[in-house]
């Protein structure tokens, strides 16, 4: 059965901390791994990774994919209260499927 | 932001009534999806479309039907709404199969 598992389920940190969110997957016909941020509304797209070992960066956020070990991490450095959200990991596959994890809820305390 | 509009944004309906949700895109993307999001379940695929009049079922399609008569519009219909269909519904679009998808703002549906 295809699945995506995220950990931890929730996380509380203080502003300025660095956090690492994990996503492991077992999906046949893999095409891409996607990260989204969801703040009480629609998921907003952060990153798409398709190749192993290549880091994607956007400001304080970065992500990397390991296709051999079937996982990805999302790092957020110097966290801010605006980073508080649910972070979703998804795997895109052939056959028009996206498999979503249940998300990691991040709370950043001032 | 991708041009995706969902309507209505909120709806309360009674059990047994038909309900139609609309997703409209201005990106000319080929693939369109309907998801529902429930606590503890994450996002689950209801139906998807890979072209005009080309649709297929997702993992939670029972009780739902879809139609796509134009590239830009994808309709989700609950033929006879039930309380178990109370959820937040998201439409998503993609121009490449299995690659980045962009989401609409969601429709919060309550069936009483």
Q: What are the phi and psi torsion angles at A82 (to 5°)?
A: -70, -10
Check CB contact under 8 Å for A31 and B90.
Answer: no
A106 touches chain B (CB under 8 A): no
B32 near B93, Cβ under 8 Å?
yes
**Partners of A97 in the beta sheet?**
A93
pLDDT at A52 over 90: no
- Name A81's Cβ contacts closer than 8 Å, sequence gap at least 6: A15, A108, A109, A110
pLDDT score for A102:
93
| C-beta atoms surrounding A18 within 10 Å | 11
Q: Name the residue with higher pLDDT: B57 or A94.
A: B57
- Residues of B numbered 31-70 whose beta carbons fall under 8 angstroms of chain A's beta carbons: which are they? 31, 33, 40-45, 48, 50, 56
**pLDDT per residue as tens digits for the range B8-53:** 999 999 999 999 999 999 999 999 999 999 988 889 999 999 999 9
User: Can you give the C-alpha Rg of chain A in angstroms?
Assistant: 13
pLDDT score for A2:
87
Cα–Cα distance for residue pair B4/B23, rounded to 1 Å: 7
pLDDT at B1 over 70: no
- Compare CB distances from A100 to B42, B105, B106 and report the shortest one's residue: B42
Nearest alpha carbon to residue A35 among A91, A88, A107, A92:
A88
Cα–Cα distance for residue pair B72/B6, rounded to 1 Å: 12
Q: What's the mean pLDDT in A74-101?
A: 93
Structure tokens at B79: 């033929």
Q: What are the phi and psi torsion angles at B83 (to 5°)?
A: -60, -30
pLDDT at A71 over 90: yes
Residue to mutate among B42, B45, B68, B97, with most A CBs inside 10 A, is B42
A37 near A29, Cβ under 8 Å?
no
CA distance B18 to chain A (A): 25
> What pLDDT band is residue B2 in, cutting at 50, 70 and 90?
low
pLDDT score for A34:
95
Chain A neighbors of B100, CB-CB under 8 A: 32, 34, 45, 48, 92
- Spell A40-49 as b/e; 16+ CB within 10 A means b: eebbebbbbb
What is the DSSP secondary structure assignment for residue A98, as one 8-state letter? E
Q: What's the mean pLDDT in A47-53?
A: 88
- Mean pLDDT of all residues belonging to chain A: 94
**Cα first-last separation, chain A:** 41
- Name B110's Cβ contacts closer than 8 Å, sequence gap at least 6: B11, B12, B13, B86
**pLDDT per residue as tens digits for the range B78-91:** 999 999 999 999 99
A35 near A106, Cβ under 8 Å?
no
pLDDT score for B3:
92
Cis, peptide link before residue A44, omega less than 30° from 0: no
Chain A neighbors of B90, CB-CB under 8 A: 42-43
**pLDDT per residue as tens digits for the range B55-74:** 999 989 999 999 999 999 99
Structure tokens at B25: 């895109």
């Amino acid at each position: 059965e295809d699945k995506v598992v995220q950990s931890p389920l929730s996380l509380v940190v203080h502003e300025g901390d660095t956090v690492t969110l994990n996503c492991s997957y077992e999906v046949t016909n893999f095409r891409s791994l996607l990260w989204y941020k969801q703040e009480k509304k629609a998921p907003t797209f952060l990153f798409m990774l398709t190749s192993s070992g290549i880091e994607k960066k956007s400001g304080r956020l970065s992500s990397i994919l390991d296709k051999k070990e079937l996982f990805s991490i999302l790092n957020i450095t110097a966290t801010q209260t605006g980073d508080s959200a649910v972070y979703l990991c998804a795997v895109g596959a052939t056959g028009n499927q996206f498999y979503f994890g249940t998300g990691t809820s991040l709370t950043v305390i001032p | 932001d991708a041009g995706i509009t969902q309507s209505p944004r909120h709806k309360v309906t009674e059990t047994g009534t038909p309900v139609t949700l609309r997703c409209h895109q201005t990106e000319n993307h080929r693939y369109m999806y309907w998801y529902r999001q429930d606590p503890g379940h994450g996002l689950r695929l209801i139906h998807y479309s890979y072209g005009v009049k080309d649709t297929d079922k997702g993992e939670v399609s029972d009780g739902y039907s879809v139609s796509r008569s134009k590239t830009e519009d994808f309709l989700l219909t609950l033929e006879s709404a039930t309380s178990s269909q109370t959820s937040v519904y998201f439409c998503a679009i993609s121009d490449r199969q299995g690659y980045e998808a962009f989401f609409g703002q969601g429709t919060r549906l309550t069936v009483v």
